[in-house]
Amino acid sequence: MYLLDNSAPQAVDRFDALSDIFDEGTIALLERLGVAGGWRCLEAGAGGGSIARWLADRVGSTGHVVATDIDTRHVQAGARDNLRVRRHDLAADPVPDGPYDLIHTRLVLMHLPNPDAALRALVASLAPRGWILVEDFGAPARAAGQPLFATAAALRQVFTAGGVQVDAGQTLQQRFRDAGLSDVGGDTRSFVWRGGSAGAKLLRSNFEQLRDALLRTGLSAEQFAADLARLDDPAVAVPSPVMWAAWGRRV
């Protein structure tokens, strides 16, 4: 079960923050792979739909994009004529409507109970010489070995207990090679998030959505409230998780 349910009221803020923080880097990687007019693309786990819409604009009327998610309510807004939205569970359902010249997924595989099986299914849906780009989080930096927010440490604990592979990003390139992909490459990016920033907005949405689970780890309500307040303080600086990216091409 995906812990960050798209139907929660915090989902809109989460998707907006993820787009503000990470879309620029994702788009740069997609451009590096040469996405162009006429390409057939899959955005698996489309979330708020920002990358699916960018891809649809990029491939134009001669291409098309399929955007999938287990809950597609946030993908529908701003849909294009060449953008098809499908309800789809990557953990359980066959990949729809292939083959694809490009498949992209961000912050999805790390949440699946069998991410390698999902990766193999995605690779099998690529056209010959088609590209796949996957982005997943790895561990954030630590200050003197300690997390800056007790609530962030509790969140990591909740994710781990819920089956999320919180450090999955570091393994992506090797998993791509194991899947038989060629031209495998990778990149990382990370940030320092200040109070009041998009990064703080992302943390707040995650903290608030999972509040009950966080308190069950032993985190006090007082500490939770204090950490939320610190997210508004521009003097506060917290290291982001590292976003790991890997790309490869089907032989």
Per residue in 89-145, pLDDT (tens digit) is 999 999 999 999 999 999 999 999 999 999 999 999 999 999 999 999 997 765 544
Domain for residue 223, yes or no? no
Q: Is residue 227 part of a domain?
A: no
- Domain membership of residue 130 (yes or no) is yes
Per the structure, how many domains does the chain have? 1
Determine, yes or no, domain membership for 85: yes
Residue 145 included in any domain = no
**Residue 182 maps to a domain:** yes
Query: Quick check: pTM over 0.75?
Result: yes
pLDDT, tens digit, 9 for 90 and up, residues 184-197: 999 999 999 999 99
Residue 56 — φ and ψ, nearest 5°? Answer: -60, -40
Does residue 146 lie in a domain region?
Answer: no
Domain that holds residue 84: 11-140+165-192+241-249
CATH number of domain containing 45: 3.40.50.150
Q: Is position 154 within any domain?
A: no
Which residues of the chain carry a pLDDT beneath 50? 144-146
